[in-house]
A and B are shown apart, each in its own frame.
Chain A
């Protein structure tokens, strides 16, 4: 990076847009409130501009699931691979193969530590991919598994990981049907990384996607949030905090099938992994160009998780889950959806957290437990690397 070069460039761009706004008569100074609104409008336009990666190198924030990740995907990958299947950037791509409609997804797992309370990297690698298929409305069928192993990695640990993958696959009712193994020199990886890909059958005729959200729709989470992220953070033992929490990693396909059977008005589902529930709410607001309003009081968070997050200065809304989903359903079917989720053990604490609104599009508002309101934006920075 040249000497503060990016600052100059950012300022130059700013001046250009500013001149444009002034020419368009958008900046006529009025009273204070109107001036603030003008600034907000200008920011809104700035946010809709095409994202660009400013950094010269990948930083940890590019993997954190927040703004930097979104920018990287849109500016680098979407640009390179652009096609109608990829473009919606859903958890899985919907494809037509012969006469069948299938969903295809892939995910890599680099969690540290490899073993943690409530699960391990193997279980995560199965459940994560199963869940990406399930929330896309597909019935998960077959998975692949690729392993990148570091020289010196204990075979006993690998056996343990494979065993828990077997158990997780059995629980989810899927099979691992192909795979790959690579070994890299000591120091070139951290023990064991896993990639899984999965295909599922789109056997229901419901178009799902966050872009379908409409004002009046209900937003539901299937259970307490943030368990996985906080568990991993504490399992690293760097913080000297102990709490009785464990990862919520679980396959969601059973619960999802129950929900889709019972509720025709399901518009979208997402599993709340990296970036947490807050990121999904932002994806809904942005994709469907709607407002989102949630009630902090209604968002279920275990006391242990809240306590640890409070101590660490982290908002549970941004903390990853591995066995929770956020569903958008037609407003008049919210009760049905809650009932359907609650009949499943994983959804016993499902909760209606808010609604899609015709409020300021692209923006998520939170009514705080304290009684105020604030914005919930995409996360910047990286509170917690390598959680999955």
Chain B
């Protein structure tokens, strides 16, 4: 397939793999964090770790929008959905996220009207077609999806749509990265910077990571070769003793981001003083709420949202996984009590969650499989 196969070429991957291996200092271990859940998914889906020398460990970061939603917010959304005449809309990823009383799927089976949409604009369509209902869109995601929520709010305002509102859970990536950098239990050598988020915010916001923390950052695309190349760029910086922000994904990411997208976010949303992240706790100025100017579209003002904080189940170690302190399989309940069909933690839900990606794609002994594959693929 054009524009895809070029970024999945095995020969190029082999060449890059050799160059990466050559940059590894003997005896040194490298820990690189891919911030974005989309990268985690690509890494596992394509078996990218097979190309990396053993001295490089990829650490999965907090950039999975579904994974960072705390249980209390899921409960809040379900409380909204059970109000009379409410249709709650959300992205498919949210449907199986467990709250303290089950998931949206369970709530749907029990009779509440929860619908999956592919775009927030689809929620407007539902609102227009159901004038006697109140449609609430559960907005989630980083700066990547915030502009489309912003556009939807502005469109609703322009149309004077009275039965639509947003339950805003948008979060921002920089405070989360900062929380990880300040976390005492993690030593990282560099960051594979998020791709889609950067199409909106650009590369400039990462400069403090290189400058103040001395860690290289390479913004990367989502095809396997993009990631492999960004690992090469990180290793090159490390071998030359540099720490800079570089842009591997320049075909999509402008250095200064997308001013139009930033403008619509600023028009409709403002930073919350603080927001709870699953596993990471409360982080200041890390999330967005609907601006007062658009208060009539803010579900948190229109409805009585319980806002009760729900503690994660004690055995759930999503926090450590999100911070990259634990590999998914190192969590106590991974794969036994917590599986994709009965997720206890959010990391097991979304295809971008580190645990789900590892469980679905990577649950194997790499050494043993490598040998088996070499033999099998060679047979006639």
Interface residues of A (CB under 8 A from B): 1, 3-4, 6-8, 10-11, 13-14, 17-18, 33, 35-37, 39-40, 42-43, 46, 54-61, 67-68, 71, 238-239, 291, 293, 295, 303, 306-307, 310, 313, 354-355, 357, 359-360, 363, 365-375, 377, 380-381, 383
13 new A-B contacts at CB < 8 Å, known A40-B363, A370-B10? A1-B106, A7-B98, A11-B313, A40-B335, A42-B335, A67-B340, A293-B373, A303-B1, A370-B13, A372-B50, A373-B366, A377-B361, A380-B96
- Chain A, interface SS category: mixed
Complex contact A60–B51 (CB within 8 A): no
Bound complex: CA of A293 vs CA of B373, how far in Å?
A: 8
Contacts of A366 in B (CB 8 A): 47
Bound complex: CA of A291 vs CA of B335, how far in Å?
A: 20
Q: Tell me which of A307, A354, A372 has the highest count of chain B C-beta atoms within 10 A of its own C-beta.
A: A372
Bound complex: CA of A290 vs CA of B172, how far in Å?
A: 46
Complex contact A377–B373 (CB within 8 A): no
B94-116 interface with A by 8 A CB criterion: 95-96, 98, 100-102, 105-106, 108-110
Complex contact B4–A310 (CB within 8 A): yes
Q: Does any Cβ of A come within 8 Å of B254's Cβ?
A: no
Contacts of A37 in B (CB 8 A): 365
Contacts of A295 in B (CB 8 A): 377
Complex contact B370–A373 (CB within 8 A): yes
Contact partner of B334 among A39, A71, A238, A367, CB < 8 A? A39
Q: Which residue of A lies closest to B344 (CB)?
A: A7
Q: Which residue of A lies closest to B369 (CB)?
A: A373
Bound complex: CA of A310 vs CA of B4, how far in Å?
A: 9
Contact partner of A4 among B1, B5, B110, B313, CB < 8 A? B313
Bound complex: CA of A241 vs CA of B13, how far in Å?
A: 32
Complex contact B47–A374 (CB within 8 A): yes
Bound complex: CA of A369 vs CA of B372, how far in Å?
A: 17
Bound complex: CA of A42 vs CA of B338, how far in Å?
A: 12
Q: Which residue of A lies closest to B8 (CB)?
A: A370
**What's the minimum C-beta distance from A17 to chain B, rounded to whole angstroms?**
7
Contacts of A71 in B (CB 8 A): 341
Complex contact A367–B335 (CB within 8 A): no
B320-344 interface with A by 8 A CB criterion: 329-330, 332-342, 344
Q: Does any Cβ of A come within 8 Å of B364's Cβ?
A: yes
Complex contact B376–A380 (CB within 8 A): no
Q: Which residue of B lies closest to A358 (CB)?
A: B372
**What's the minimum C-beta distance from B182 to chain A, rounded to whole angstroms?**
27
Complex contact B13–A368 (CB within 8 A): no
**What's the minimum C-beta distance from B246 to chain A, rounded to whole angstroms?**
23
Known: A17-B336, A367-B373. A40 touches B329 (CB 8 A): yes
Contacts of B10 in A (CB 8 A): 369-371
Complex contact A370–B47 (CB within 8 A): yes
Contacts of A359 in B (CB 8 A): 368-369, 372, 376
Contacts of B360 in A (CB 8 A): 375, 377, 380
Contacts of B338 in A (CB 8 A): 10
Q: Per-position contact with A for B338-380: 1 when CB-CB < 8 Å, else 0? A: 1111101000000100000001111111111110110011010
Q: Does any Cβ of A come within 8 Å of B48's Cβ?
A: yes
A-B residue pairs in contact (CB < 8 Å), sample of 9? A13-B337, A54-B342, A60-B105, A307-B1, A371-B51, A372-B49, A373-B366, A373-B370, A373-B373
Complex contact A371–B14 (CB within 8 A): yes
**What's the minimum C-beta distance from A172 to chain B, rounded to whole angstroms?**
34
Complex contact B101–A357 (CB within 8 A): no
Q: Which residue of B lies closest to A385 (CB)?
A: B116
Complex contact A367–B377 (CB within 8 A): yes
Q: Does any Cβ of A come within 8 Å of B44's Cβ?
A: yes
**What's the minimum C-beta distance from A4 to chain B, rounded to whole angstroms?**
5
Q: Does any Cβ of A come within 8 Å of B46's Cβ?
A: yes
Q: Does any Cβ of A come within 8 Å of B315's Cβ?
A: yes
**What's the minimum C-beta distance from B95 to chain A, rounded to whole angstroms?**
8
Complex contact A306–B96 (CB within 8 A): no
Contacts of B106 in A (CB 8 A): 1, 55-57, 59
Q: Which residue of B lies closest to A39 (CB)?
A: B329
Contacts of B377 in A (CB 8 A): 293, 295, 367
Contacts of B368 in A (CB 8 A): 359-360
Contacts of B337 in A (CB 8 A): 10-11, 13-14
Contacts of A33 in B (CB 8 A): 365, 367
6 residue pairs, one from A and one from B, having the closest CB atoms: A372-B47, A43-B335, A14-B337, A371-B10, A57-B109, A380-B340
